[in-house]
Amino acid sequence: MKKWTDEFSYDLRNPSDEEQVLNSMQPHHSLSSLSITSFSGRKFPSWLGEPSFSSMVQVELSNCHQITSLPPLGRLKSLKKLSIKGSSRVKEVGVEFYEDDSCFSCLEMLEIVNMGKWKQWAWSNGLGEDSVVKFPKLHELRLHNCPKLVGKLPNFLPSLEKLVINNCPLLVELPKVLPSLTALSIRSCRGPILKSLINSTSLTSLKHLQIIECLELASLVDGEEELLPCSLEVLEVDMCPNLKELPSGLKDLKSLKDLRISQCRSLVSFPAGGLPHNLICLSLQNCGALESLPEGIVSHSKYSSDTSHLEKLRISGCKSLRSSSNGKFPDFLKTLEIHNWTTQLLNSLYYGLSHLTDLQIWNCPQLESFPGKELPIPSLISLKIAGCEALRSLSNHMQNLQSLQQLEIGNCPRLELFPEMGLRNPKHVSFEIHRCKNLKSLPNQMQSLTSLQSINMSDCGAAIECSIECLPPNLTMLSMGACLNLKQPMLEWGLHRLTSLRKLGIGSMKSSGDIISFPDDDGFLLPTSLTHLFIAGFKNLKSISMGIQKLTSLEKLEIWRCTKLQSFPAEGFPATLECLCIDNCPLLRDHCLKEKGGHYWPIISHIPRVVIRN
């Protein structure tokens, strides 16, 4: 492998000197990979592209801004990967790049990026279609930020599987022969190339179509029906602000499994007939004018929602969306993610959803209590509520969620209360709560949740207490940070009784403010089962005590932002310790560095991984 880089000052560079040096550096003919970056010469060396480099499989030419023409890389008969970036003075990629029709016979990936002046891709030598370079093994072609590139792409790309075109607005047509293409991404392009996509008859294998930031796009089918490839499995349309309609033949795309529409602010409705029944995932985001969901997504019958197989639904930022109060979601729905829903839309949660396993509720400003009534979702495993500023309580109806395993609540500043009877969910494994500053207590009877293994709390609580009486007995992970009003001394938490605890994180707690030495010398504060201990923001901590030796299973110790910490125990750390990380503990840093003659270096040098940083 040979690599030319820009690791020297531009002020000292001379184009002629660089040309001479690179030309004299002719590598061995067995070279397999070549990278030339920020070469300031005006032409590449004469040896680049010689057929004698029969083993060269990869070439990268990057940011060679003075170059005006490319070398004859088509002569490299074994070349598989070619990347050309930032050759900003190249205006034409001509037939001298190819040499003859047998060139690039092994090329599998071609990437051309940031070619600001490139106008013409002369892929034909002018002798007719039979002389066109065919790139017989090209699997992937990427064109990024070539704003002046005009005309057409090479016609015959029989093996191409992935095509990405980004900010090439003057391109007018896709290749005519693309029988193997499965993935196509078009971004920041204009109407002609989009029309060539719609009218193409060669995209018989296309499965994934992505259209992004095409400002002129008003319709996917230009008034015609069923012209999108019937093989499509994923269709993604994003940031097309003038898109007003989707094809009426959308419902007939029998292979379509995933449909994502986002930031299409002019889209008002879906075509009559709805979506394919085989659709599995539907995502609608930030379509502000959208007034209704597709037919069949919400049924107004007491019976099943037609025959929809939809399993995942995400609706976010569609502020004009309306729904009746008794709408029913598809029976097969397993994941539902909702953002900015009104109370009327939220009422849809209480109908159907018998197979739902994952429910996420984000930024619903009218939600004050949840669930508002009995929630018939017996299979729900994961519930996340975030950014609901009016939410004050979780109701006793939570107990009906008997399959619930994960509960996460975040950024609900008015939340005060959990259900009075606690969280009686026998399968509960994980509990997370963040940025709920008015929370008055943890849920009642948490000690009865014998399956609960993980509790993660941060920036919570007006007057929360923490003791062994309220913590589940089988916890394996406990993390508490920035719960500044938790005043109960850490010695009273009873952590040493949590005999299954393996990971403990404590950060910026009011109860840690009086701690000068940690842990206690006798080793009674923490359970010996710990393998990972993280502490942060102990503002008066001065020393790590010899009690750390009692943690005979400890593998990782992290200490962050303890600005007064200055000493380690003379006895050192447990022999099991594999990683020690000290971050922003300025009084300790130099004592731990070998090059500073730190007197703690001898007791930490045996630890496989030591990280000391400010």
Spatial separation of the C-alpha atoms in residues 5 and 63, rounded to whole Å = 10
pLDDT at position 104 is 86
Residue 1 above 70 pLDDT?
A: no
Question: Are 505 and 479 in contact, with CB atoms under 8 Å apart?
Answer: yes
pLDDT at position 465 is 58
Question: Are 91 and 119 in contact, with CB atoms under 8 Å apart?
Answer: yes
Greater pLDDT, 264 or 322: 264
For 245-282, the pLDDT digits (tens) are 888 888 889 999 999 999 999 999 888 888 888 999 99
Greater pLDDT, 466 or 156: 156
Element (H, E) at 192: helix 191-199
In the predicted model, what is the mean pLDDT of residues 197-224?
83
Greater pLDDT, 581 or 487: 581
Spatial separation of the C-alpha atoms in residues 506 and 515, rounded to whole Å = 12
pLDDT at position 346 is 82
Residues 6 or more apart whose Cβ sits within 8 Å of residue 434: 409, 410, 411, 456, 457, 458, 459, 460
pLDDT at position 3 is 54
> How many Cβ atoms sit within 10 Å of the Cβ of residue 9?
7
Beta-bridged to residue 360, according to DSSP, are 337, 384
Complete DSSP assignment for 386-423: ES-TT--EE-GGGGG-TT--EEEEES-TT--B--TT--
pLDDT at position 7 is 53
In the predicted model, what is the mean pLDDT of residues 599-614?
91
In the predicted model, what is the mean pLDDT of residues 126-152?
78
CA distance readout (Å), 578 to 56, 77, 407, 547, 573: 43, 50, 32, 18, 10
Greater pLDDT, 297 or 35: 35
Q: Work out the mean pLDDT of the chain and round it to a whole number.
A: 85
For 408-431, the pLDDT digits (tens) are 999 999 998 888 777 888 899 999
For 455-503, the pLDDT digits (tens) are 999 888 655 655 556 788 899 999 988 776 666 777 778 888 899 999 9
Element (H, E) at 503: strand 503-507
SS3 state at 121: strand
In the chain, pLDDT over 90 holds for what percent of residues? 43
Greater pLDDT, 240 or 155: 240
Long-range contacts of 52-58 (CB under 8 A, 24+ apart): 53/29, 54/29, 54/78, 55/29, 55/30, 55/31, 56/31, 56/32, 57/32, 57/33, 57/81, 57/106, 58/32, 58/33, 58/34, 58/82
Please state the three-class secondary structure of 361-381 as a single string: EECCCCCCEECCCCCCCCCCC
pLDDT at position 17 is 83
pLDDT at position 305 is 47
pLDDT at position 325 is 46
In the predicted model, what is the mean pLDDT of residues 75-84?
92
pLDDT at position 300 is 57
Q: How confident is the model at residue 11 (pLDDT cuts 50, 70, 90)?
A: low
> How many Cβ atoms sit within 10 Å of the Cβ of residue 230?
15
The pTM of the full predicted model, rounded to 2 decimals, is: 0.82
Residue 301 above 70 pLDDT?
A: no
Of 74-88, 115-129, 268-282, 397-411, minimum mean pLDDT range: 115-129
Q: How confident is the model at residue 130 (pLDDT cuts 50, 70, 90)?
A: very low
Greater pLDDT, 295 or 339: 339
pLDDT at position 522 is 86
Greater pLDDT, 246 or 186: 186
Question: Are 398 and 421 in contact, with CB atoms under 8 Å apart?
Answer: no
CA 429, 431, 433: angle at the middle one, nearest 5?
170
> Sign of the CA dihedral 149, 150, 155, 161?
positive
For 349-368, the pLDDT digits (tens) are 877 788 899 999 999 988 99
pLDDT at position 127 is 44
